[in-house]
Amino acid sequence: MSDLNVMTAAEMAATKAAVMDQVPGPEIQGQSPLHHADLDSLAKVGPKQGGVHLREHKLLGHLTLRLNPENDDQLAAAERVLGVALPLQPLTSVESGSYSVRWMSPDEWLILVPGLEAFDVESKFRDEMGGHYSLVNSSGGSTVLELSGPDVVELLKRCTSIDLHPKLFPVGKVVSTVFAKSSAIIRRTGEHSFELVIRRSFSDYIWLWLQETSREFGLVVKA
């Protein structure tokens, strides 16, 4: 049996996956799973002061990459595409311009890119990388919330059992965990700011949960 990770250029070309551009053009208006909440209007008319700030980063490109972390050729190919090496340390993340890469498991990374670039980035991976790997555009499956403000840690303590002390949860750390009985990928982006990647089917529930849970701090929706 041939080793999928040791292939000639011709063998690599033959393994090229069928790719399809799932990204509608900019002329089609996309709707996030929180479209019905109309966060833009809430940002205009809602409170301007409060302990927790929420902003949705909607319609980003979400790419799930899986490969063997011991395959140096594939790691190098990923670095050529992303402009930064994949984080190999557990629970870490890296950013490169408008791209961000999260360690999800020893052989899995979640890459977020601007929504309209998802297919370009995917195509670059197909061109650069050979052998046995998987790249899936999962953009439609999740959305991203940015939570910040002076009380954001207090809010998150009410949602997850993860220890958020800066010593144990420094900027850049990323965990996939239980969040308000649903799940979330939580990444610290600053002392008082976090990014949550949440499932689209749970986004309304989490939006309702966050409104309820942040009541004591005051919630400011930002556009």
Partner 1 sequence: MFHIYCPHCAEYREEEEFHAAGQAHIARPLDPEACSDKEWGEYMFFRKNPRGIHHELWVHAAGCRKFFNITRDTQSYEIKEVYKIGEKPSVVAE
Binding residues for partner 1 (CB under 8 A): 90-91, 104-106, 108, 161-162, 175-178, 183
Output the CA–CA distances (angstroms, integers) from residue 159 to 75, 82, 94, 154, 162, in the order listed: 35, 32, 25, 9, 9
Residue closer to partner 1, measured from CB, 77 or 162: 162
* Cβ-contact 195, 187 below 8 angstroms: yes
Nearest approach in angstroms of CB 109 to partner 1 is: 12
Residues 214, 59: Cα–Cα separation, whole Å = 25
Shortest separation between residue 196's beta carbon and partner 1, angstroms: 14
| Backbone dihedral angles phi then psi of residue 211, each to the nearest 5 degrees | -65, -45
Name the residue nearer to partner 1 (CB basis): 67 or 81.
67
164 vs 69: CA distance, rounded Å: 28
Nearest CA to 46 out of 219, 188, 181, 207 is that of 219
Are 66 and 110 spatial neighbours (Cβ–Cβ below 8 Å)?
no
Read off the DSSP letter of residue 48: S
Which residue number, 23 or 145, has a Cβ lying nearer to partner 1?
A: 145
Shortest Cβ distance from residue 108 to partner 1 (Å)? 8
Nearer to partner 1, 121 or 159 (CB): 159
Q: Minimal distance in Å, beta carbon 183 to partner 1?
A: 5
| Least spacing, CB of residue 173 vs partner 1, in Å | 10
CB of 203 vs partner 1, minimal distance in Å: 17
Query: 5 or 183: whose CB is closer to partner 1?
Result: 183
Please identify, using beta-carbon distances, which residue of 105 and 134 lies nearer to partner 1. Answer: 105
DSSP conformational letter for 167: T
Calculated CA dihedral for residues 38, 178, 62, 173, nearest 10 degrees: 110
